[in-house]
Amino acid sequence: MTQGLESASLAARVDARPPSRSWGMHRHNNHVNMLISLSRRGFGVISRCLVTVHHQKMAAFSVKSLDHVVITAKDIPTTIEFYTKRLGMKHEVFEASGGERHALSFGNQKLNLHQSGKEFEPKAQHVQPGSEDLCFVTDYPIDEVLKNWQLNGIEVLESGKVVERTGAVGKLRSVYCRDPDGNLIEVSNYV
Cα dihedral 80/86/90/93 (nearest 10):
0
Q: Is residue 61 part of a domain?
A: no
DSSP labels, 4-63: HHHHHHHHHHHHTSPP-GGGT-EE-SSEEEEEEEEE-TTS-EEEEEEEEEE--PPPS---
3-state secondary structure at position 104: strand
pLDDT digits (tens, 9 = 90+) for 145-171: 999 999 999 999 999 999 999 999 999
Structural domain boundaries, residue 27: 2-54
Say what the pLDDT of residue 171 is.
Answer: 98
Q: Is residue 135 part of a domain?
A: yes
Contact 75, 130 (CB under 8 A): no
**If residue 150 lies in a helix (H) or strand (E), which one and from where to where?**
helix 142-151
- Number of structural domains the chain divides into: 2
Mean per-residue pLDDT, 60-64: 88
Q: Which comes out higher in pLDDT, residue 47 or 172?
A: 172
Residues 178 and 151 in one domain: yes
Q: Is residue 129 part of a domain?
A: yes
Residues 89 and 30 in one domain: no
Q: How confident is the model at residue 60 (pLDDT cuts 50, 70, 90)?
A: confident
Residues 124 and 147 in one domain: yes
What's the CATH number where 107 sits?
3.10.180.10
Q: Which comes out higher in pLDDT, residue 100 or 81?
A: 81
- Residues that are catalytic: 186
Q: Is residue 151 part of a domain?
A: yes
Residues 44 and 76 in one domain: no
- Please give the Cα distance from 22 to 7 (Å, whole number): 23
Exposed / middle / buried, residue 119 (Cβ in 10 Å: 0-12, 13-18, 19+)? middle
Residues 15 and 87 in one domain: no
Q: Is residue 155 part of a domain?
A: yes
Average pLDDT for the chain: 81
Q: Is residue 62 part of a domain?
A: no
Which of 8-17, 64-73, 111-120, 138-147 has the weakest average pLDDT? 8-17
**17 has pLDDT over 60:** no
Residues 92 and 159 in one domain: yes
